[in-house]
Amino acid sequence: MLQQQRGRVGEFLGGTRAILPLIVALVPIGLVFGAVSATKGLSALEAVLMSALVFAGGSQFVAMDIWTHPASWSAVAFAALLVNMRHVLMGASIGTKMASFKGVRKYIAVLFLADEIWAVSEFKAGRDRLTPLWFAGVAAPFYAAWVGSTLAGAMLGAFLGDPAVIGLDFAFPAVFVVLVMGFWKGRETGAVLIASGATAVLVQHFVPGVWYIAAGALVGLVAALWSGRAGTVAA
């Protein structure tokens, strides 16, 4: 009994260990989000509510970019839909790896599908079995860190200064670069990366807003399908 309990705790902590470096990278981003929201006139309570209920950093920053007074719910909701469209793909991918999530657990789990949580879970599923407890060990501290650092940022506000000076704004892209390297599986991956990257850069240059994320991801997928088919024909 005790041993079983220890095993369960160990599984939860295994998830926490996997997400820990990403939490270190997340906290400065949360602080910045809190501070930016304060400059846009949001109260600390409002900033914390947004982080707790939306829990999707990219769309929250975009919302701050286009924030108006009074707030336009349709504008920020549409922006969130667009920025987070990648979650449809992410959910579709991770959903196929959640065989041990019973009943409603799968649906509860995907509600916490922030980029970082999703990425470490994909990593785990590629090497081992993804379990609900391990996932909880990833999601719970990450969620707490996002909401907590938002609160701290909103209260400290202007004291924080410009994060670009010490390069902290680069922590998030740097994490993604590391993750991309981890998903390398050979030449097909190269085709996907080139297609997705080139499309994203082009679309971002010519189309205002955040269409580039959805566009890049979709063209990357098409490249995968196309190179997969070409491989079948050649074989």
Partner 1 sequence: MTLDLHTLLAILAMAAATVFTRLSGLLLVRHVGMDDGMRSAIEAIPPAVLMAVIAPTAFATGWAETIACLVTALAARRLPMLASVALGVLTVALLRAAGL
**What's the closest the beta carbon of residue 218 comes to partner 1, in angstroms?**
8
Judge contact between 97 and 122, C-beta under 8 A.
yes
- Measured from the CB atom, the residue of 45 and 144 that comes closer to partner 1 is 45
Q: Cβ 6 to partner 1, closest distance in Å?
A: 26
List of residues 6+ apart from 122 with CB closer than 8 A? 93, 94, 97, 183
In the three-class reduction of DSSP (H, G, I as helix; E, B as strand; rest coil), residue 123 is classed as: helix
- Gap between the Cα atoms of 49 and 145, Å rounded: 14
Of 9 and 107, which CB lies nearer to partner 1 in the complex structure?
A: 107
Phi, psi of 101 (to 5 degrees): -90, 110
Q: Which two tokens stand for residue 176?
A: 């993604």
Return the C-alpha torsion angle 129, 135, 141, 145, nearest 10.
100
Q: Which is nearer to partner 1, 160 or 180 (CB)?
A: 180
Q: In the bound complex, what is the minimum distance in angstroms from residue 4's beta carbon to partner 1?
A: 30
Q: What is the DSSP letter of 167?
A: T
| Cβ distance to partner 1 smaller for residue 5 or 208 | 208
Q: How far is the CB of 16 from partner 1 (least distance, A)?
A: 14
Query: What is the distance between the alpha carbons of residues 104 and 87, in angstroms, rounded to a whole number?
Result: 19
**Measured from the CB of residue 158, what is the shortest distance to partner 1 in angstroms?**
18
Q: Which is nearer to partner 1, 1 or 92 (CB)?
A: 92
Smaller CB separation from partner 1, 1 or 186: 186
User: Least distance (Å) from partner 1 to the CB of residue 92?
Assistant: 4
* Contact predicate 135/121, CB 8 Å: yes
Q: Are 197 and 214 in contact (CB under 8 A)?
A: no
